[in-house]
Amino acid sequence: MEKRTLGRTGRDVGVVGLGAWQLGADWGEVDESDALAVLNSAVEGGVTFIDTADVYGDGRSERLVGKVLKEHLELTVATKMGRRVEQIPSNYNLDAFRAWNDRSRENLGVDTIDLVQLHCPPTEVYSTDAVFDALDTLVQERRVAAYGVSVETCAEALTAIARPNVASVQIILNAFRLKPLDEVLPAAQRAGVGIIARVPLASGLLSGKYDENTTFGPDDHRNYNRKGEAFDVGETFSGVDFGTGLEAVKRLIPIVPEGATMAQFALRWILEQPGVSVVIPGARNPDQVRGNLGAAALAALTEGQLKAVQTVYDELIRPQIHNRW
Ligand SMILES: NC(=O)c1ccc[n+]([C@@H]2O[C@H](COP(=O)([O-])OP(=O)(O)OC[C@H]3O[C@@H](n4cnc5c(N)ncnc54)[C@H](OP(=O)(O)O)[C@@H]3O)[C@@H](O)[C@H]2O)c1
């Protein structure tokens, strides 16, 4: 698989990674053997970058990733911290970071975490020097090799990129979320900051497999967070109203390259955006993992395909999304 350098971490990672939120909670039941099968099929298929968080299943995802990491020290594992407490800026301090880091290191079974990301903290946190001093301290103490941020908005991303030691920015980027192309990706490229593209399939919408009759279980955020009841609504279907998303997908189906799935096409589109380091589709079973890995081998998209994505975005998605995130 093609490898790219993940910003200031200096690490080279395969362009298709794995998002491990599904292995924690919030996506319906994924039992332990299925979760380990997802992780093992990813590693066997050439994935070298896995994204998790301390809050996914309250540590379950990290512990499962830790099991696989023990056997595959070549992996780069990124976790996130900060969403197990009330979301107020004063909760982001060195003592808290050390305690959260101790727990994540134990869950992952490592002394030094490859990359820790602030997990969509309150916006003021990005402008607080003491927060970044504390993150520098974690690096000095070798608790983490590098740190980055996972952001909700482009404005937050730009503030973080201006910080000298932010190694990477994780942001929603997909065919329904084009705003990062305007300023964030160019700024990250200029600064040498890595871009981790999350929610690449718009929570599954861009796989093309849902229709008007699709329902999601009570323990699935695509049911309980449709209006942002539990966390930022942008994390569920990328913030796109489900019906609008279905309509947009219908318009994209005819431009999917022959022999490719819609999911592969959607992931390939992301990989072709200059500045992207790695894309992290989430998966609930090994077939999804293997399908997503196929995106790395797809031929470059044509001008016509790229233009069609832009047109569908401009006509259907932009009014709901562009000014919000
Ligand atoms: N705030 C944050 O920092 C934050 C927020 C969100 C996500 N993330 C990270 O980003 C990762 C990816 O985002 P995401 O998981 O939210 O959304 P996503 O990757 O856009 O969508 C994942 C869903 O797409 C479907 N899918 C995946 N591969 C498929 C395939 N090959 N064919 C058909 N369907 C497929 C599955 O849906 P079904 O379940 O319906 O099968 C899967 O649960 C997460 O796992 C997490 O690591 C971080």
List the domains of the chain with CATH numbers. Answer: 3-321 (3.20.20.100)
151, 207, 235, 253, best to mutate for ligand 1 pocket (most atoms within 8 Å of CB) = 207
pLDDT for 202 equals 98
pLDDT for 310 equals 98
> Tokens in use for 256?
């999917």
> Tokens in use for 258?
């022959």
pLDDT for 167 equals 98
Distance 148 CA to ligand 1 centre (A): 20
Distance 108 CA to ligand 1 centre (A): 21
pLDDT for 33 equals 94
Ligand 1 pocket check for 185: Cβ under 6 Å: no
150-189: b or e for each residue (b if 16 or more CB lie within 10 Å)? bbbbbebbbbbbebeebbbbbbbbbbbbbbbbeebbebbe
Distance from C-alpha of 169 to C-alpha of 152, rounded to nearest angstrom: 10
pLDDT for 47 equals 98
pLDDT for 211 equals 97
> Tokens in use for 250?
């219908």
How is 26-38 classified by DSSP, letter by letter?
Answer: SBS---HHHHHHH
Ligand 1 pocket check for 79: Cβ under 6 Å: no
Helix/strand/coil for 13: strand
Ligand 1 pocket check for 168: Cβ under 6 Å: no
pLDDT for 132 equals 98
What is the CA angle 58-61-64, rounded to 5?
A: 130
pLDDT for 244 equals 97
Give the chain's residues under pLDDT 50: none
Distance 141 CA to ligand 1 centre (A): 33
- Protein residue with its CA nearest to atom 44 in ligand 1: 19
| Pairing outcome for strands 18-19 and 166-172 | unpaired
Q: How much is the pTM? A: 0.98
